[in-house]
Amino acid sequence: MKTRRLSASRPADVRRAAALLKSGKLVAFATETVYGLGADALNARAVLEIFRAKKRPAFDPLIVHVSTIAQFVSVSRGLSPLAKKLADRFWPGPLTIIVPKSDRVPDVVTAGLSTVGVRMPAHPCAKKLLAAFGGPVAAPSANRFGYTSPTAAADVLDDLSGRIDAVLDGGSANVGIESTIVWPHQDEIIVLRPGAISVETLAKLGKVRVRAHRPGEVLSPGGLPTHYAPHAPMALLPAGWPAQLRRLDRSAAKPLRLGLLLYRAQAVRSPHVRASVVLTRSGRPEEAAANLFRAIRNLDKMSLDAILAAPVPKKGIGLAIADRLEKASSGLRADAEFYRNLFKTRASS
């Protein structure tokens, strides 16, 4: 299969992309969070193809994207006042709302769950595609399962070229991090995945609870302990990391090839550091979020021994950045044992 590259700024291309969706094909498209891999949400066979293309396990439910409140109503069953209030306040935008599902939505979309995650995206590319298609579109992030999410059409092609029918290029995903997933339950807003809409912002609407991941639980597999992971090993740096790097053995015959993911710019002197990427020059967490996945993908192309991520302030969208780093590194810490193993592998390479 050859993957067509279509442009969201050409109306004929948007129509073409919508026609592909109508005929049960897969089309990746830009949203404000990350690129999604779309299929007609009401066509079970088309949705199955998403799992094949991404090599995604069937237990991982998809988010349904809508362009109207009528579509939201049609895929859900009995919307609570709190669910409506959340949609009203944050849509179109980077918020996914978990609601009871209607029978119209095939079980494969929700991995057999009785609930469905719904989101109305704000990016012009997604809006145009959804409007032209005229129905709900199931779409996970358009990456190979478990790998770093795509924030540009080129990332989608890196991962899925030849496995999907088209990508509708809408430029870069400006938020850069996936939607916040909330489950309105009774009078509480339960955050299942932190994202662009911060806990602080949600708290203005009601009581908020951030639900910690419980081992073995697959309520929200984006909550699996490993996800968003690069091919190179990744580990989290401790607070005193600059001194830690200065202390690393300088006499090694073969210095390590480390890549640093820095929140703010900082001079680092170590023979072991090959590359460093700064997430924000301004110190705005939104800027850091927008650069995060691009930075990880770029470092991952440099054949490094490891990618080390410096700590991130956990306020606002910073909580979502920290969540993605934790999962991309499977919670691995850059400690003495981590470096010892790297030196060993490097010496024998």
- CB-based contacts of 69, cutoff 8 Å, min separation 6: 87
Which among Mg ion, ligand TXA, none contacts residue 33 (Cβ within 5 to 8 A by kind)? ligand TXA
Q: Tell me which amino acid residue 207 is.
A: K
Q: Is residue 141 a contact residue for Mg ion (CB under 5 A)?
A: yes
Helix (H) or strand (E) holding 65: strand 63-65
Give whichever of 210 and 275 is closer to ligand TXA, judged by the CB atom.
210
- What tokens appear for 8 in the block? 């969201």
Query: Binding partner of residue 119 among ligand TXA, Mg ion, none, CB under 5 to 8 Å per kind?
Result: ligand TXA
Helix (H, G, I), strand (E, B) or coil at 330: coil
58 burial type by CB count under 10 A (0-12 exposed, 13-18 middle, 19+ buried) = exposed
> What three-state secondary structure class fits 286?
helix
Q: Which is nearer to ligand TXA, 13 or 323 (CB)?
A: 323
CA atoms within 13 A on the CB side of 217: 9
End-to-end CA distance of the chain: 37
**Binds 172, which of ligand TXA, Mg ion, none (CB < 5 to 8 A, cut-off by type)?**
none
Contact indicator for 270, 245 with CB cutoff of 8 Å: yes
Q: Judged by CB, which is closer to ligand TXA: 96, or 329? A: 96
Report the residue number whose CB is nearest to Mg ion: 141
CB of 218 to ligand TXA, least distance (A): 7
Q: Report CA 143 to chain centroid distance, whole Å.
A: 9
Using the 8-state DSSP alphabet, how is residue 222 labeled? Answer: G
Residue 221 interacts, among ligand TXA, Mg ion, none and using kind-specific CB cut-offs from 5 to 8 Å, with: ligand TXA
Could you tell which of Mg ion, ligand TXA, none binds residue 63, using a CB distance below 5 to 8 A set by kind? ligand TXA
Question: To the nearest whole angstrom, how small is the minimum distance from the Cβ of residue 342 to Mg ion?
Answer: 28
Closest CA to 291 of 256, 265, 329: 265
- Per CB under 5 A, which region of 81-89, 136-144, 201-209, 314-322 contacts Mg ion? 136-144
**Nearer to Mg ion among residue 47 and residue 273 (C-beta):** 47
Q: How far is the CB of 11 from ligand TXA (least distance, A)?
A: 23
Q: Which positions lie near ligand TXA, rule CB under 6 A?
A: 31, 33-34, 36, 60-63, 94, 96, 98, 110, 113, 115-117, 119, 139-141, 178-179, 181, 192, 219-222
Q: How far is the CB of 141 from Mg ion (least distance, A)?
A: 3
Minimum Å gap between C-beta 94 and ligand TXA is: 6
Give 7 or 115: the residue with its C-beta nearer to ligand TXA.
115
In the bound complex, what is the minimum distance in angstroms from residue 220's beta carbon to ligand TXA? 4
* 242 vs 240: CA distance, rounded Å: 6
Q: How many helices (H) and strands (E) does the chain have?
A: 12, 15
SS3 per residue for 95-153: EEEEEEECCCCCHHHHCCCCEEEEECCCCHHHHHHHHHHCCCEECCECCCCCCCCCCCH
With binding defined as CB under 5 A, does residue 96 bind Mg ion? no
Minimum CB separation of residue 125 from ligand TXA in Å reads 11
Nearer CB in complex with ligand TXA: 33/329: 33
The smaller minimum CB distance to ligand TXA, of residues 178 and 305, is found at 178
Residues 186, 192, 196, 200, Cα dihedral to 10° = 50
**Residue 34 contact among Mg ion, ligand TXA, none, beta carbon within 5 to 8 Å by kind:** ligand TXA
Give me the least distance between CB of 173 and ligand TXA, in Å please: 8
| Interacting residue ranges for Mg ion, rule: CB under 5 A | 141
